[in-house]
Structure 1
Amino acid sequence: MRAARCTRYGPPHGLRVVDLDVPEPGPGEVLVRVHAAAVNFPDVLLVANRYQITPPLPFTPGSEFAGVVAAAGPGVTSPAVGAPVAGAVLTGAFAEQVVVPVEGLRPVPEGLDMVHAAAFHVTYATAYHSLVTVGRGTAGEWAVVLGAAGGVGSAAVDIANRLGMRVVAAASSRERLAVARKLGAEAGIDYVHEELKTRIRELTAGEGAHLVVDPVGGDHAEAALRGLRRGGRFVTVGYADGTIPRIPLNLVLLKDAVVRGFEIRMLRRYAPDTVAAGDRALARMVRDGMRPLVSRVHPLAEVAAALTDVAERRTTGKVVIDMTSGS
């Protein structure tokens, strides 16, 4: 099988597509023939050895995929061979076949093709639980989404709008804000050229936001926290800026704010019933027409270029690797 391979830590251009033996599923595992795999910012960090976890070399990057079950290991009775599935792993998805623990798989929501299914679960589950499970967002509240045209950001704008929240999109350009507005953002802030805290206050009639979802980090995190109203909630999801912010705790104290972190793998491990309820809610939204924003689709041969575009923030929504394309 073909697979992208990282043999040394560094920028994505060091990745190579090579031939590997097809892995064998062990007890409790499933072999999936991958049709499509989505690129996420943590994939870039893993290749550069800048993530919280260091994968041993060599390894195949890629965490989010969709495909069909090719074989089941001992003890696995479901899903059946041939069933369409989507799933997530820490590494291994940028390959024509991947072995996954059966609990890491989900059925493909009705209405999604493989490209959109690959781009859906991790990003949309992260956005949903950041907004609802952790952020406790409700209809009518002001929700500020940083990085609003990126993968998690665009999903958060989409979901928050569908749940009746008043969404303020924050992004790095007018063009990216236009993407967020198409997904339902009521207002936008270009945080490169506008002062984030001040604009949040202006847009919310001086009250401040009820909720901030931040997949960006860097200097924008503190500014957004300052834009919260008293008792507001701030959810940190990731650090696409490349810098982990250092928040003055006196701001949390003075605002009586709640600051929470969210990571989807931990929720799957410790609250599977909550994850299942979120999956059902997301499936209903898909049936109502919700689709992830996929801006680019590349063949596996262009995996290094795809990760470079994501690393340099030249994309909106999700970038997907099409494993069925031979070019």
Structure 2
Amino acid sequence: MEFVDLDLGPPDDRHLVVDVRAAALNFSDLLMSEDKYQVRPPRPFTPGQEIAGTVVSAPRGSHWNVGDRIASKIPWGGFAEQALVPCDSAFLIPENFSFELAAALPVTYTTSMVAFFDSTKLKSDQTVMVHAAAGGVGLAAVEIAKAIGARVIATASNAHKLDIAREHGADVCINYSDENWVEAVKDATSGLGVDVIYDPVGGDVGLQSLRCLARNGVILIVGFASGTITEIPANRLMLKRASAKGVYWHHDHDADLIKKMMDKMFVMLEKDLLKPLVDRRFDLAQLPDAMRALQNRDTTGKVVLAV
């Protein structure tokens, strides 16, 4: 990675030019940088998909104005002083919300909203298990599941991360580094298993999760932070009448869905049900250090660059 001056290019009729004030990191940024993600930008490219800042230029006829405080998911290019943001993917930030907290919303919280309100319909009488529950998407999932009223079993790799998950609403906390973590989940559910599994980890954790699934349950495939894609044996699903569902969204295909999810999310925020956690802050030029911290799993909640 190099810290250099680049030409953003001329404004067009589809994008806002935004002064980036904060940009959040995601595991997909690591995968994209290693050319292992489903989105593969032409190189060289500027990573960064989750930003918050102020509008400095808006197309004529758009409903945006210079000075508007916005946050957005973008394909890439967010780890910079300025970024191009599609007009239809930005949303206004409430005045009482900081740029750093707003940068935590467009990817992780939206993904968890889609998971629990669209990929499956999580109900208040169900039990959900959230893996990597102290990470960006995991912690968002814990909070949203609790806001719905579900019982939440949180898993993470150490006691500190489990404490954070508990502070954000988890009812039961289990260390999935322990050999007997699957049995602990079964004990916590009286042998019935969990109704919904939220899995951003993949690999062996995702595979072993199938042993924790209740009859008619669903495992939500959110990501592969372990670096390994889970190969799910179909017979495991068949015997439990269970299903596996991918959690994915894109503004080009899901604009109406995302607007509904954002509306629900802001109601939860107004009721103080969601409390994004920014664990580590870095300056823009420290991006390599920030990505290294995320890759080494030295963080909880969101890692944010202050620009």
Q: Measure the CA separation in 1 of the matches of 2:163 and 2:223.
A: 23
Map Cα deviations across residues 195-219 of structure 1 (whole Å, 9 max, x no partner): 3332221101111101001011010
Q: Partner letter of residue 282 of structure 1?
A: M
The alignment yields a C-alpha RMSD, in angstroms, of 1.3
Further displaced range: 285-294 or 250-259: 285-294
Deviation, structure 1 residue 110: 5.1
1:110/1:166 Cα in 2 relative to 1: closer, same or farther (>3 Å)? Answer: farther
Q: Measure the CA separation in 1 of the matches of 2:88 and 2:238.
A: 40
Deviation, structure 1 residue 76: 4.1
2:251 maps to 1:293 = no
- Superposition TM-score, scaled by structure 1 size: 0.90
Residues 135 and 302, structure 2, Cα contact 8 Å, conserved in 1: yes
Local SS of the residue matching 1:19: coil
Alignment counterpart, residue 4 of structure 2, candidates 12, 18, 27: 18
Residues 62 and 87, structure 2, Cα contact 8 Å, conserved in 1: no
2:187 maps to 1:239 = no
Q: Partner letter of residue 241 of structure 2?
A: D
Residues 70 and 81, structure 1, Cα contact 8 Å, conserved in 2: yes
Quote the residue 1:11 is aligned against: none
Q: Partner letter of residue 293 of structure 1?
A: L
Q: Measure the CA separation in 1 of the matches of 2:148 and 2:32.
A: 33
Alignment counterpart, residue 188 of structure 2, candidates 163, 186, 203: 203
Q: Measure the CA separation in 2 of the matches of 1:146 and 1:298.
A: 26
Map Cα deviations across residues 277-305 of structure 1 (whole Å, 9 max, x no partner): 21111101111222211101111111100
Q: Measure the CA separation in 1 of the matches of 2:292 and 2:169.
A: 28
2:291 maps to 1:307 = yes
Structure 2, unaligned runs of 5 or more: none
Alignment counterpart, residue 257 of structure 2, candidates 274, 277, 283: 274
Provide runs of 4+ in structure 1 moved above 4 Å.
none
Q: Partner letter of residue 198 of structure 1?
A: E
Deviation, structure 1 residue 91: 0.9
Local SS of the residue matching 1:319: strand
Quote the residue 1:98 is aligned against: 83
Q: Measure the CA separation in 1 of the matches of 2:281 and 2:91.
A: 22
Q: Partner letter of residue 231 of structure 1?
A: N
Quote the residue 1:143 is aligned against: 128
1:256/1:167 Cα in 2 relative to 1: closer, same or farther (>3 Å)? Answer: same
Quote the residue 2:267 is aligned against: 284
1:110/1:209 Cα in 2 relative to 1: closer, same or farther (>3 Å)? Answer: farther
Local SS of the residue matching 2:3: strand
Quote the residue 2:20 is aligned against: 34
Local SS of the residue matching 1:264: coil
Further displaced range: 129-138 or 239-248: 129-138
Number of residue pairs the alignment of both structures matches: 306
Map Cα deviations across residues 73-92 of structure 1 (whole Å, 9 max, x no partner): 3x542211111110111210
Further displaced range: 194-203 or 236-245: 194-203
Q: Partner letter of residue 303 of structure 2?
A: V
Map Cα deviations across residues 106-131 of structure 1 (whole Å, 9 max, x no partner): 11145321010011221111111112
2:236 maps to 1:259 = no
Q: Measure the CA separation in 1 of the matches of 2:95 and 2:62.
A: 22
Deviation, structure 1 residue 240: 0.3
1:99/1:131 Cα in 2 relative to 1: closer, same or farther (>3 Å)? Answer: same
Q: Measure the CA separation in 1 of the matches of 2:147 and 2:95.
A: 18
1:27/1:187 Cα in 2 relative to 1: closer, same or farther (>3 Å)? Answer: same
Q: Partner letter of residue 53 of structure 1?
A: V
2:132 maps to 1:155 = no
Residues 61 and 92, structure 1, Cα contact 8 Å, conserved in 2: yes
Q: Partner letter of residue 183 of structure 2?
A: T
Question: Percent identity of the aligned residues?
Answer: 38
Q: Measure the CA separation in 1 of the matches of 2:119 and 2:180.
A: 27
Alignment counterpart, residue 45 of structure 2, candidates 49, 52, 59: 59
